[in-house]
Structures are given as structure tokens and as C-alpha cells.
């Protein structure tokens, strides 16, 4: 049973779509990303086939696959996983990097980088030809980030063990990825374990931090450049409402996001050019906004 606070929010914000969201929490297929920093795509696929994985490709990303016959615990036993040839990652989690569209030689800030899903994806998409600054304030999580970067063959990243809200204003970046800490309202698999998160006090604390992070990101982003703000939440307080606040404070605009995903996966949003993904068997609930600093 969902926490009453969250259920009330879903009924208020999405009305007759709340049942669709609840159904989407029930089942999710495992997905993975091929790591072409380590090996050619066809060679990785052949190894996974020998290991008995039944894979389904997706139309919008050539390195993403849905696993039809194995769970994460089974995949973690494979040599391909332990050697860094694949990365277990939800399909929704892959979208912010595709929306960011990193290019060679750019200096990119990943503000909340651990455990490294998107950091490693940025490096892979550019074949290690970018400069990534990855922030993580917690030592245990920073160590995990470092481990994953090494395992995936990433050589273009500097890790800063620092709260990104307090980065020195000396820094400036060509692009920024802010996958902000959130309530996780889009990713629930065991709703009963999240009662302590979904309270008004807790959501207020989360949104205050998100707003601080986004303001810092916009102060560090170079003019006429773009950044991604994303969360794995579908609550408007953590998404559209945050964007609306900074649009009143900064000279920014929202750019269209081209991801070639069926709009059947989208939830309605109160802003143009943002994406809110409905949780379902393929996708976690997710929010993405592409912000251009004028």
C-alpha cells in the first residue's frame, strides 16, 4: 500500500492516471547498457548470448537492452558484468545523458555522480574524449564511484569529494548534468518501505536541496550553454515547480528534448519541453528538463 501522502499527491496531480501509475510500480524488467569503452558491441552481445541472456533492443538507443529472462542478481554473476563489459542501468536512467548530448572536448560537471551510472555513460558516449568533474560528498559513495569508473574503463574523470552546492565559483562548465537527489517516487518497488520519505516535511527538505543545487548549477554553467535537470520522481514539487522558480530568477529557457520515445510513456506536465515518464514495466518514473542559459 502506498503512503497516504504520496497517494494523495498522485490523485491530485494526475487524477485519473493514478491507477496507471500504480500499475507501473508492480513490475519492471531488468535492463543493461553495453560498455563499448571495454569491447566492441558485437563481441559483448555474443558473450551475453553464450551466457544464455535473451535480450530485446530498444529503438532509441543502440547500446541499451532489456533482459527478458534474467534478474539483476543472476547477471551480476556473469564475467561480462564483473569485467565491466556491461552496466546494469534502468532505461530511464540512460535518458538524461542522451538529452545532454555530450561532445568531445567539453568540460562537463556531474553534480551528484555516485554510483556512476551517468558518469560512465558520458565517458562512453564520447570515448573518454571529454573532461568530467564528478561530485560526491559522501566518502563511501565516492569510493563506489571510483570503483565503477575504474571497472568501466573511464579515464577522463576527476572526482571531487565535495557537496556540489558549495563548489567554488571559480569553476565554469560547458555542460552540466544535475540528476538531483529526490524522493524516488518514480522508482518504487516496495512502497511500504518508503513511508518515512513521503511526508510533507521530508519533501520540503528534498526540494530545498534540489533548488540549491539547480541555482548553483546555473551559476557555474557558461552562457549560451545547456544543462540537464533530472530526477527519478514524478512529483511536481520536485520537478516542474523547481524549474518554474529558477525561470523567475535566471535568464534561461527550456529546450525541446528529442529522445524518440513513444509518448504513451509520458505523463502530462505543466511546462512545455519537459518530459515526465510514467513508471511501467520498461521505464522507471523520471523527469527531465533541458535548460539553456541565455
Residues catalogued as catalytic: 232
CA-nearest of 159, 177, 157 to 98 is: 177
Burial of 95 (0-12, 13-18, 19+ CB in 10 A): buried
Query: Which whole-number Å values give the CA distances from 24 to 83, 198, 281, in the listed order?
Result: 32, 18, 6
Helix 139-151 with 117-125: angle, nearest 10 deg: 30
Stated length of the chain: 294
Please give the distance of CA 274 from its chain centroid, rounded to a whole number. Answer: 14
Q: Which residues of 141-158 are buried (b: 16+ CB within 10 A; e: fewer)?
A: bbeebbebbebbbbebbe
194 touches 235 (CB < 8 A): no
d(CA 178, CA 164): 10
171 touches 133 (CB < 8 A): yes
d(CA 133, CA 122): 11
d(CA 117, CA 126): 15
152 touches 87 (CB < 8 A): yes
Amino acid at each position: 500500500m502506498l503512503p497516504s501522502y504520496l497517494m494523495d499527491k498522485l490523485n491530485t496531480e494526475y487524477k485519473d492516471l493514478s491507477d496507471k501509475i500504480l500499475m507501473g510500480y508492480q513490475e519492471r524488467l531488468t535492463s543493461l547498457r553495453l560498455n563499448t569503452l571495454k569491447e566492441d558491441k558485437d563481441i559483448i552481445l555474443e558473450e551475453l548470448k553464450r551466457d544464455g541472456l535473451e535480450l530485446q533492443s530498444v529503438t532509441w538507443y543502440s547500446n541499451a537492452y532489456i533482459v527478458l529472462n534474467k534478474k539483476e542478481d543472476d547477471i551480476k554473476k556473469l564475467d561480462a558484468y564483473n569485467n565491466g563489459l556491461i552496466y546494469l542501468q534502468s532505461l530511464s536512467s540512460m535518458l538524461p545523458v542522451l538529452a545532454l548530448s555530450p561532445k568531445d572536448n567539453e568540460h562537463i560537471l556531474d553534480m551528484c555522480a555516485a554510483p556512476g551510472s551517468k558518469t560512465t555513460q558520458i565517458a562512453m558516449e564520447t570515448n573518454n574524449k571529454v573532461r568530467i568533474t564528478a561530485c560526491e560528498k559522501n566518502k563511501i559513495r565516492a569510493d563506489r564511484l571510483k570503483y565503477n569508473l575504474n571497472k568501466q574503463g573511464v579515464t577522463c574523470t576527476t572526482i571531487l569529494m565535495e557537496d556540489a552546492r558549495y563548489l567554488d565559483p571559480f569553476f565554469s562548465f560547458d555542460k552540466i548534468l544535475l540528476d538531483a537527489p529526490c524522493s524516488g517516487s518514480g522508482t518504487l518497488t516496495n512502497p511500504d518501505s518508503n513511508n518515512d520519505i513521503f511526508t510533507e516535511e521530508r519533501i520540503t527538505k528534498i526540494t530545498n536541496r534540489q533548488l540549491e543545487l539547480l541555482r548553483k548549477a546555473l551559476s557555474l554553467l557558461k552562457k549560451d550553454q545547456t544543462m540537464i535537470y533530472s530526477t527519478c520522481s514524478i512529483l511536481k514539487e520536485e520537478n516542474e515547480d523547481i524549474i518554474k522558480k529558477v525561470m523567475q530568477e535566471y535568464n534561461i529557457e527550456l529546450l525541446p528534448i528529442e529522445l524518440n520515445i513513444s509518448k504513451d510513456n509520458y505523463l502530462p506536465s505543466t511546462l512545455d519541453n519537459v518530459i515526465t515518464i510514467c513508471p511501467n514495466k520498461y521505464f522507471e518514473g523520471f523527469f527531465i528538463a533541458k535548460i539553456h542559459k541565455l
